[in-house]
Amino acid sequence: MNTLVTGGNGLVGSHFNEDFIKVSSKDYDLISNEKTKEMFETHTPDRVIHAAARVGGLGSNIKYKSDYFYENVCINANVIENSRLYNVDKLVCFLTTCIFPHNQVSYPIRPQYLHDGPPHESNFGYAYAKRMAEVQIRAINEQYDKNYFCVIPTNIFGPHDNFSLEHGHVIPMLIHKMYISKNFNRDFEVWGTGKPLREFIFAKDVAKLTEKLLDEYNETDSVILSTSNEFTIKEVVDILVDIFKFKGKVVWNKEKPDGQYRKPTDNSKILELFPDFKFTGLRDGLEETVEWFNKNYGSARKQSINYRH
């Protein structure tokens, strides 16, 4: 059975079973439907894990809303529709918790709340593109009787992330900034107040859970991948200061935005399916990620993203 992973060199994709066929943007430009068709014709997958996306941190999402929307809509539409056209038996599509309504009325967040209101203004381009992937999959399941579904992980971190200082997510960006601050004796500046709460999940855990779902889950409802443990950004910074043994000054730039204050999730579905699964603790995951980054600084992804202009 052929299992194809898009985004195969990325944060989650790099941790999947080595027997899987892993492709990246260097192999196929999934914004192009012709290149996407070529990928399916070449690899003839029976199952697809769709983890490819144009992603970035808060500042990048604010600045490039149109690009995030267009590119992700194209990527998702092409992969999902060609999965149907090429008779893929099972498709798992990656979403993210940032697509949920900003003014969430009821917590914890559950998959059925997805379309109950607009996402946070800071990332609405990316968020709406991801929402459309869920809509497309639901429509295909109903019209063509497919067994496709979405997973919705919280903030993923780990080795093989993009540690870009401009476009990275919060943890890889903080790790890279602290690496520079320590090695060049600079202050360590962090955006915002440090008060917002986030749930973090280790990339290896996401890969393991997704593989288990691919093998064992036969429903079409979306599944949240989460530990349901919240940490403030300040708590993350404090752990990194300790891991790096950073002796410099931490500066909180309160003129910069915090983003959404909190978005706690309901992980009861994944716990019901896999009650014995052991999640990696935040500190353990951060230690492994920092160790990997220090050893692979020269080759680790730190690049900016090329946007359309």
Whether residue 166 is predicted with pLDDT greater than 90 in this model: the reply is no
Q: What is the pLDDT of residue 303?
A: 66
Candidates 64, 68, 126, 179; catalytic one: 126
Q: HSE of 135 in the Cβ direction (CA atoms, 13 Å)?
A: 11
CA 189/CA 192 separation, integer angstroms:
10
149: which strand partners?
92
Q: What is the pLDDT of residue 305?
A: 47
Q: What is the pLDDT of residue 260?
A: 77
Fold of 3-295: Rossmann fold (3.40.50)
What is the arithmetic mean of pLDDT over 114-140? 93
What is the arithmetic mean of pLDDT over 160-166? 88
Place of tokens 């918790």: 97
Average pLDDT, the chain: 93
Whether residue 307 is predicted with pLDDT greater than 50 in this model: the reply is no
Q: Which residues touch 255 (CB under 8 Å, ≥6 apart)?
A: none
Q: Would you kindly state where each structural domain of the chain is located, as residue ranges?
A: 3-295
Between residues 259 and 141, the one the model is more confident about: 141
* Cβ atoms of 114 and 131 closer than 8 Å: yes
Between residues 74 and 104, the one the model is more confident about: 74
CA 200/CA 262 separation, integer angstroms:
12
pLDDT in tens, 33-56: 999 999 999 999 999 999 999 877
CA 85/CA 75 separation, integer angstroms:
15
Q: What is the pLDDT of residue 26?
A: 94
What is the arithmetic mean of pLDDT over 164-173? 85
Whether residue 140 is predicted with pLDDT greater than 50 in this model: the reply is yes
pLDDT in tens, 247-278: 999 999 999 888 778 889 999 999 999 999 99
Whether residue 103 is predicted with pLDDT greater than 90 in this model: the reply is no
* Cβ atoms of 155 and 169 closer than 8 Å: yes
Q: What is the pLDDT of residue 153?
A: 96
Has 307 been annotated as catalytic? no
Tokens at 19, concatenated: 């027997």
Residue 304 pLDDT class (50, 70, 90 cuts) = low
